Amino acid sequence: MNATATTAEKRTGTPTLMQGNIALAEGAVQAGLRCYFGYPITPQNQIPEYLSARLPETGGVFVQAESELASINMVLGAAATGARVMTSSSGPGISLMQEGISFLAGDQLPCVIANIMRSGPGLGGIKPTQGDYYQATRGGGHGDYHTLVLAPANAQEMFDLTYKAFDLADTYRNPVLILADAILGQMKEPVIPEPPYPRLELDKDWALTGANNRPARNIRSMYLEGDDQEQHNYVLQEKYDRVRQEVPMWEQMDTDDADFVVVAFGTSARIASSAVRLARAEGLRVGLFRPITLFPLPEEALREMAAKVNGLLVVEMNLGQMVHDVRAILGPDKPVSFHGRPGGGVPTVREILEKIKENMV
Amino acid sequence: MQTELLMAGFGGQGILFLGDLVARTAMAQGMHVTYMPTYGVAMRGGTANCVVIMSDEPIGSPVMNEPDVALILNQQSFDKFQPVIKKGGMIVANSAMVSPDTFTRNNDLKLVMTSATDISREVTGREQSTNMAALGAWLATDDTLSIETVEETLRANLHPSKHALLEPNIETIRAGMAAVTSAATTA
């Protein structure tokens, strides 16, 4: 399934100039967000600031919790009632939430978590990075689980993918992570802040809504009897297999006749797209492949595209994370080179163009 | 056609407001646009900058690359950004705070000095519209944005609490334009 990339110009409606963080927050409101729990951290503070005013207007609940640990466990409690809930944070805050995210995955509870990445490790800085790719795509907490991971690359996608994240969370009863960075959060672009399609309304026959003459329901991640825990893990894995089949999203630019393709997500993909355009202007047959879902990565589409090219260059704002997944997917025979800048460094268009030329031979 | 516009000055000089206005105007004219504010640790009295990219095609990188034009309101920003402006580009500089003697790229850049702070003071009695005077100077030398759309955009987006400043701001933009145009005529 290839959901094409969404930018404001591909949608009908009246665009308004919106900051990425605000577009993300409004996308959540339009998706029917009922409860937000969070704790402040730069560079995502516009999300709670906006929702603190906006959610009460829609009858929703906004809570600034005392910590990230409290936030994620409030998310767990509210999600168990079947409400659409979210939190947002950045690097260190997301790390603090990992225990709760593991519980949400084990409990099979839907929620949306936005990580507007700041440069780490540790407290790090507030500049943009993609250093949390591993944490996001490996689950992040303890146990054999995944969160779905969506990587927007423009303000319209901050809106649209957040809107979609709630449907995916409900469909698969699983936490969905929005993985963006300080550039995508702080930048303003035209956005059509209207739902692209009606939101999914599922009957949540697992939600804790008060037993009221029906048999009691039980949401848990701990199974002590026999091989129940093992069986529970098979249930989760079967779900991730479905996710791998049904959810992959990506965008391709100029790949049809390409000899060489750059693979990048989010902000890196935006910068790489400018480099690809410059390369094309010089007559080089270069394309861009942008995964929109990072878990699941669009493996089949990547393989199919890569079969037609001589080599690839993965560009990331870290020192090499997604590149290892790309190499694992494509196997040892396909040359995959890498260019990255860590800790708040942002690759330049020229830098990427040079790397393309260097590795294209 | 793509124009990368850098705006820079002291925090408090309305750089981010200016960038927002330019971006909204470009959007109203049907262009693709990105607005990227200063990102980093900033405070009042420190430097602030933002980059707006306007294009008739979808925009790739929203990050500052090689600005075609810079509107610069103070000396620190002038010193910092003069080297990165694209060859053949232009700097509009506020003469109240930038010394033309520090201009070192006579060979490949155009420099437009505008007395933006003085224009603001003359028109509004305050210095706060320096950003608008500088915008006017650019509008007078470039046809990417029309003054009519700038005015409409300002009217539509200025926060209600600031409406008393609407007409003075528009007057300052026009005075900033007129100053450049008359200088060109006398030259």
Distance CA A183, CA B37 (A): 9
Disruptive mutation site among A11, A158, A187 for chain B (greatest number of B CBs within 10 Å): A187
The beta-carbon neighbor of B35 closest among A187, A348, A350 is A187
How would residue A13 be classed by pLDDT, with cut points 50, 70 and 90? confident
Q: Residue A126: its chain B contacts at CB < 8 A?
A: 39-41
Q: Which of residues 73-92 of B touch A (CB under 8 A)?
A: none
- Which of A106, A52, A55, A53 is CA-nearest to residue A83? A55
Q: Do B33 and A183 touch (CB under 8 A)?
A: no
Distance CA A85, CA A31 (A): 10
Q: Quick one: pLDDT at residue B47?
A: 86
The beta-carbon neighbor of A17 closest among B23, B41, B62 is B23
Give the gap in angstroms from C-alpha A11 to the nearest C-alpha of chain B. 14
Q: Quick one: pLDDT at residue A3?
A: 45
Q: Residue A187: its chain B contacts at CB < 8 A?
A: 34-37, 62
Any A CB within 8 A of B182 CB: no
In which residue ranges of chain B is pLDDT below 50? none
Q: pTM for this one?
A: 0.96
Q: Do B60 and A270 touch (CB under 8 A)?
A: yes
What is the domain-level CATH number for residue B118? 3.40.920.10
Contact status, residue A267 vs residue A181, Cβ threshold 8 Å: yes
Sequence-separated (6 or more) residues with CB below 8 Å from residue A57: none
Any A CB within 8 A of B58 CB: yes
- How many residue pairs from chains A and B have C-beta atoms closer than 8 A? 66
Task: Determine the residue of chain A that is closest to B2 in CA distance.
Answer: A274
Distance CA A19, CA A40 (A): 18
**pLDDT tops 70 at residue A358:** yes
Q: Output the six-digit token pair for A285.
A: 């047959």
- b/e string for B69-105 if b means 16 or more Cβ within 10 A? bbbbbbbbbbeebbeebeeebbbbbbebbbeeeeeee
Q: Quick one: pLDDT at residue A12?
A: 82
Q: Do B23 and A188 touch (CB under 8 A)?
A: yes
Q: Residue B24: its chain A contacts at CB < 8 A?
A: 17
pLDDT in tens, A276-315: 999 999 999 999 999 999 999 999 999 999 999 999 999 9
Distance CA A91, CA A73 (A): 18
Disruptive mutation site among A118, A189, A276 for chain B (greatest number of B CBs within 10 Å): A189
- State mean pLDDT over A323-337: 98
pLDDT in tens, A189-220: 999 999 999 999 999 999 999 999 999 999 99
Q: Residue B23: its chain A contacts at CB < 8 A?
A: 17, 188
- b/e string for A130-164 if b means 16 or more Cβ within 10 A? bbbbebbbebbbeeebbbbbbbbbbbbbbbbbbbb
Any A CB within 8 A of B27 CB: yes
Q: Do A271 and B60 touch (CB under 8 A)?
A: yes
Q: Quick one: pLDDT at residue B181?
A: 84
Disruptive mutation site among A17, A129, A251 for chain B (greatest number of B CBs within 10 Å): A17
Q: Residue B60: its chain A contacts at CB < 8 A?
A: 270-277, 349
The beta-carbon neighbor of A349 closest among B27, B58, B61 is B61
Q: Quick one: pLDDT at residue A1?
A: 36
* Distance (Å) of CA A232 to CA A99, A105, A235: 18, 11, 5
Q: Quick one: pLDDT at residue B12?
A: 86
Q: Residue B39: its chain A contacts at CB < 8 A?
A: 43, 126-128, 182-183, 186
Tokens 């029917």 locate to A32
Q: Do B40 and A127 touch (CB under 8 A)?
A: yes
Q: Output the six-digit token pair for A332.
A: 């040892």
Domain housing B77: 2-186
Give the gap in angstroms from C-alpha B182 to the nearest C-alpha of chain A. 34
Any A CB within 8 A of B95 CB: no
Q: Residue A189: its chain B contacts at CB < 8 A?
A: 33-35, 62
The beta-carbon neighbor of B39 closest among A127, A189, A277 is A127
CA A61 to mean position of chain CA atoms: 24
A7-21, A117-131, A203-217, B99-113, range with the lowest pLDDT: A7-21
Give the gap in angstroms from C-alpha A45 to the nearest C-alpha of chain B. 14
Can you list the domains of chain A with their CATH numbers? 8-211+233-246 (3.40.50.970), 250-360 (3.40.50.920)
How would residue A56 be classed by pLDDT, with cut points 50, 70 and 90? very high
Q: How many domains, in total, are found in chain B?
A: 1
